[in-house]
Chain A
Amino acid sequence: LDGLLQRVWNFLISKKLAIYLIITLTIVTTVGSLVPQESYSTHTDINNWLDAFSSIAPVIRFLELYHFYNTWWYQAIAVAFGISTMACTIEQIRVQWKRGQPVLLKPEKILQLKNSFELTVPGDKETIYKQVTSFFEKKKYVLYGDKSSFHARHNAWARWGLPFFHVSLVVILFWAIISLGFLSRGVIEVAEGQTVAENHQAYRYLDEGRFFNEGHGNFKITLKKLDVKYTSAGPPQDADASFIFESAKGTVREKVLNKSQEAKFEGFHIYLDKFSFTPLIILKDSSGQWITGNFYNISVKEEDTGQLYQERINIPNTNFLAIVNVYPDLDKKTTYQMFNAYRPVNPGMDIELQDKTNNRVLYKGTIRLGETVKFGDYQLEFPELRRFAQLIVARDPGVAVIFSGFWLSVVSLLAFYLFIPKEVWIHVEEASGGSCRVVLGGRSFRFKSLFAAEFGDYRERLQTLLIKDDDR
């Protein structure tokens, strides 16, 4: 069993495996970027793409290529990469720990190093030894040694840069996978004057981790007022949305949100994403009896011609579908002008009401704010127009650990890059005729050619230092 475990361990710490896994991850990630993804493409785009590649559509559907990076097999590659990185990191730490101890080398070993030389210099051993040690101390080397040999090391601590960088990668990778399992992130819409409780039903769209287990905050969100800020060119740029948050325990906090100001409440982060209009549409029968009435949030789309406020609404308690376009200023003359009017000066809407059972159009026309239109056995009223805010509500328990991993990776990489561990071995011994033999050898852990030039410089300087002009 020991032999088998050793073989498995050797396989895991193999750099070859690590490289193959990074290459695989790179290729697979690139392939994923060529397929339209749900995260940024519409369903129509994805369906068009599937139609275009209809012969391989079953494979695409089976492998769920349109949410590529969340598939089990992509995550399995990432986990395999994480395991390989972890094993290599453990091995790196072991090797660095071993290398961390100073070692004295014999002269013949020193001369085997790529950067090495020897000098015969006049003088007594003690003085020469002192001069050489002082030379390397001035160059910020830390010395360990006895009376004739020493091991000088520069930035020895920086050899931990690479292992710590790999530790940070492992932390980021595994915590991201854990985080994916527990996060919740979705969109809640709140109209002016409305209160919404943060629970599963409140979300227009919700992305929940597998282990999230409906751990909602159940706090209440009330939008008091939404003041839109317009750019000088006209379109809305931002808004100050005054909210009241109330926890299940009764803690109340008021906060003004805008696109650069988030709120934190009950462990959730709340961001103002979009805002738009929400008209009150009331449907009555011909005798004026109320059938249904509601505020309907109208989506806003950025078009090349301007902003388009458009929504398809299933009218509750009926079989009717309403296709609604809201215009902030109906008094504008041209379509372009209407699309580029942003302030609700003379608001109105185009509405097409269809009976879904037979696709018959019951009404198609324009209603201004405050107007009532009658058609067949019904009448439609548009008495009020408010704003609503679209909030992103997110809770990600892993984010702090992941960001710690980020910082560790930056610090360790900078340590790795800026502080290059270098080491030099020196041996000084007495030679015949009152002279001494000085043997030097050195190496760096990176940028070896550049170190070779530096080592050549050491040689010249030491020669100048140890061999005085009179002796030359």
Chain B
Amino acid sequence: MIEIQVILLWITVVLYAVSAGLYIYGFTFQNEKKFPLAGYIATAGLVPQSAAIIIRWIDQGHGPYMTYFEGLNSMVWVGMALFLILNWRVPAYRFLGIGVMPFSFLLIGAAVLQNPELEPIPPTFGTFWLLVHVIFAKISYGACLIATGFGIVYLIKKKQQSQDELTPFYKRLPSLEVLDELSYKFTAFGFIMIIIMIISGAIWANKAWGRYWGWDPVETWSLISWFLYGIYLHLRITYGWRGSKAAWYSIASLAVLLFAIFGVAAFYAGAHSAYFK
């Protein structure tokens, strides 16, 4: 069964790579006709990825959150699902793939290179609150990824605008103001999702070990990520931080969030590192 999962994920890697390539091509050569095709290929990539997750879930009897292989895979899945929903519901936002697809391709590539062996779930993990915690961790990543995607498109359009007259391709993209606002909207959404992730983790920890906060490195870095997004919101409201500054901040914050979710467990001992193998 593990071999099938790995094969399915490699198919996903190829399809996401093609999709990311088409988005980059579309932007480079200002050919938005490639975007629907890139969207179809990304959707096609989501199918084997979903199948791999479902097979693994049935095989081991618990959700995909026990190893790097599972954690990265499921996180990319949530980010892609959010992006594709947006892609198909609001076709005007198809361009967002330029920010989302390369990230998703790199992360799924990293996932498929991890050890795919199954890990038994410790008894303290089999709780409702862990499920809530994990789901919101993934949604927060998805929301912040899309916020960053809008930020990247903002930066590309801004650069184009500062260099010369905007071509029809760039004119058809939403205005800089709207791109900036959409990035803000998803950042605010991500901010709420991160706090729900932290709170549900605290409730789970309290039920499992009698403490809601233990300054475990992953807890600390999640709090740091939340602070960073909180600073973003305050800077925007108080100092009117918008545009390029906000977009770059959004990219940096996503890097910190990814480090909090995956990187920290690799570098530090703690409650989370025990299962991220």
Q: Which residues of A contact B (CB under 8 A)?
A: 15-16, 18-19, 22-23, 25-26, 29-30, 32-33, 37, 39-41, 68-69, 176, 185, 231, 233, 237-238, 258-260, 262, 269, 271, 273, 392-394, 396, 399, 402-403, 406-407, 409-410, 413-414, 417, 446-450, 453
Interface contacts beyond A22-B231, A22-B234, A447-B184: sample of 11 additional A-B pairs, CB < 8 Å, sorted by A: A18-B234, A22-B230, A23-B231, A33-B217, A33-B264, A39-B215, A237-B120, A237-B123, A269-B210, A449-B177, A449-B178
Q: Which residues of B contact A392 (CB under 8 A)?
A: 209-210
User: Are B234 and A394 in touch, CB under 8 angstroms?
Assistant: no
Complexed CA–CA distance, A448 and B242 (Å): 12
Q: Is B199 an interface residue (CB 8 A)?
A: yes
Contact between B124 and A39 (Cβ–Cβ < 8 Å)?
A: no
A426 and B109 alpha carbons, distance in the complex (Å): 56
Q: A15-B238, A33-B220, A185-B211 are in contact. Are A237 and B195 (CB under 8 A)?
A: no
User: How close is A157's CB to chain B, nearest CB, in angstroms?
Assistant: 18
Inter-chain contact A410/B209, CB cutoff 8 Å: no
Beyond A40-B217, A449-B178, whether A16 also contacts B185 by CB under 8 A is no
B213 close to chain A: CB less than 8 A = yes
Main secondary structure of the interface of A (DSSP, over half): helix
Q: Which residues of B contact A453 (CB under 8 A)?
A: 178
A15 x B210 contact (CB < 8 A): no
Q: A19-B234, A447-B184 in contact; A33/B202 too (CB < 8 A)? A: no
Closest to A14 in B: B238
Evaluate contact between A258 and B123: CB separation under 8 angstroms. Answer: yes
Contact A29 B181 (CB under 8 A): no
Nearest A residue to B225, CB-CB? A26
- A417-B189 in contact given A260-B123, A449-B177 (Cβ < 8 Å): yes
Min CB distance A255 to B, Å, is 15
The residue on B at minimum CB distance from A67 is: B215
In the complex, per-residue mask of B219-236: 1 if CB is within 8 Å of any chain A CB, else 0:
011011001101100110
- CB neighbours (8 Å) of B220 from chain A are 29, 32-33, 69
Residues of A near B178 (CB, < 8 A) are: 449-450, 453
5 A-B Cβ contacts within 8 A?
Answer: A22-B234, A29-B223, A33-B264, A185-B210, A260-B126
B126 surroundings in chain A (CB, below 8 A): 260
Contact A69 B215 (CB under 8 A): yes
Residues of chain B with a CB closer than 8 A to A273's CB: 209
Chain A residues near B221 (CB-CB < 8 A)? 33
Contact of B185 among A19, A403, A407, A447 (CB under 8 A): A447
Counting CB contacts under 8 A, is B169 at the interface?
Answer: no
A68 CB contacts on chain B under 8 angstroms: 215
Q: CA–CA, A37 to B264, complex, Å? A: 14
Determine whether the beta carbon of A19 is less than 8 Å from that of B192: no
- Are B120 and A259 within 8 A (Cβ)? no
Q: Which residues of A contact B227 (CB under 8 A)?
A: 22, 25-26, 29
- Across the interface, do A19 and B235 meet the contact criterion of CB distance under 8 Å? yes
A260-B127, A406-B199 in contact; A450/B181 too (CB < 8 A)? Answer: yes
> Which residues of B have CB within 8 Å of A69?
215, 220
Query: Digit string of B171-202 for contact with A (CB within 8 Å is 1, else 0)?
Result: 00001011011101100110110011001001
A-B contact count (CB 8 A): 121
Contact flag A271-B209 (CB < 8 Å), given A39-B214, A409-B195, A447-B185: yes
Judged by a CB distance under 8 angstroms, whether B40 is at the interface is: no
Bound: A364/B92 CA distance, A: 77
**Which residue of chain B has its CB nearest to the CB of A232?**
B120
| Residue B208, interface by CB 8 Å | yes
A-facing residues in B48-98 (Cβ within 8 Å): none
Find chain B residues with CB under 8 A from A176 CB.
213
| Interfacial chain B residues near A399, Cβ < 8 Å | 206, 212
- Nearest Cβ in chain B — how far from A137, in angstroms? 27
| B168 contacts the other chain (CB 8 A) | no
CA distance A396 to B237 in the complex (A): 37
Q: Point out which of B202, B213, B220 has the most chain A C-beta atoms below 10 A from its C-beta.
A: B220
Bound-complex Cα distance A25 to B123 (A): 35
Within 8 Å by CB of B199, from A393, A410, A446, lies A410
Could you tell me the distance between the alpha carbons of A26 and B238 in the complex, rounded to whole angstroms? 18
Write out the residue numbers on chain A whose beta carbons fall within 8 Å of the beta carbon of B269. Answer: 40-41
A25→B238 CA distance, assembly (Å): 18
Contact of B123 among A259, A393, A402 (CB under 8 A): A259
Convert B82-121 into 0s and 1s, putting 1 for each residue whose CB lies closer than 8 angstroms to a CB of A.
0000000000000000000000000000000000000010
The distance in angstroms between the C-alpha atoms of A446 and B191, with both chains bound, is: 15
| Mask of B245-269 contacts with A, CB within 8 angstroms, 1/0 | 0000000000000000000100011
5-34 of chain B: CB within 8 A of chain A: none
CA distance A176 to B192 in the complex (A): 21
- Asked if residues B188 and A417 are in contact (CB atoms below 8 Å), the reply is yes
A68 to B220, CA, bound (A): 12
Q: How far is the CB of A21 from chain B (nearest CB, A)?
A: 10
The reply to whether B211 and A19 contact each other, CB–CB distance below 8 Å, is no
B159 contacts A by Cβ under 8 Å: no
Kindly identify which residue among A269, A394, A447 contacts B181, using a CB–CB cutoff of 8 Å. Answer: A447
A22 CA to B230 CA in the complex, in Å? 8
B270 interfacial by beta-carbon distance below 8 Å:
yes
Given A19-B234, A33-B220, the answer on whether A394 and B185 have CB atoms closer than 8 Å is no
Min CB gap B268→A, angstroms: 7
A32–B223 Cα distance when bound, in Å, is 12
Chain A hits for B268, CB < 8 A: 33, 40
* Cβ of B131 under 8 Å from chain A: no
Query: Which 7 pairs between the two chains have the least Cβ-Cβ distance?
Result: A394-B210, A259-B123, A449-B181, A26-B227, A238-B123, A15-B238, A406-B199
Please indicate the chain B residues that have their CB under 8 angstroms from the CB of A269 in the complex.
Answer: 210
Chain A residue contacts of B181, Cβ below 8 A: 447-450
Contacts of B209 in A (CB 8 A): 271, 273, 392
Identify B120's interface contact among A16, A233, A403, CB under 8 A: A233
Residue of A nearest to B221 (CB): A33
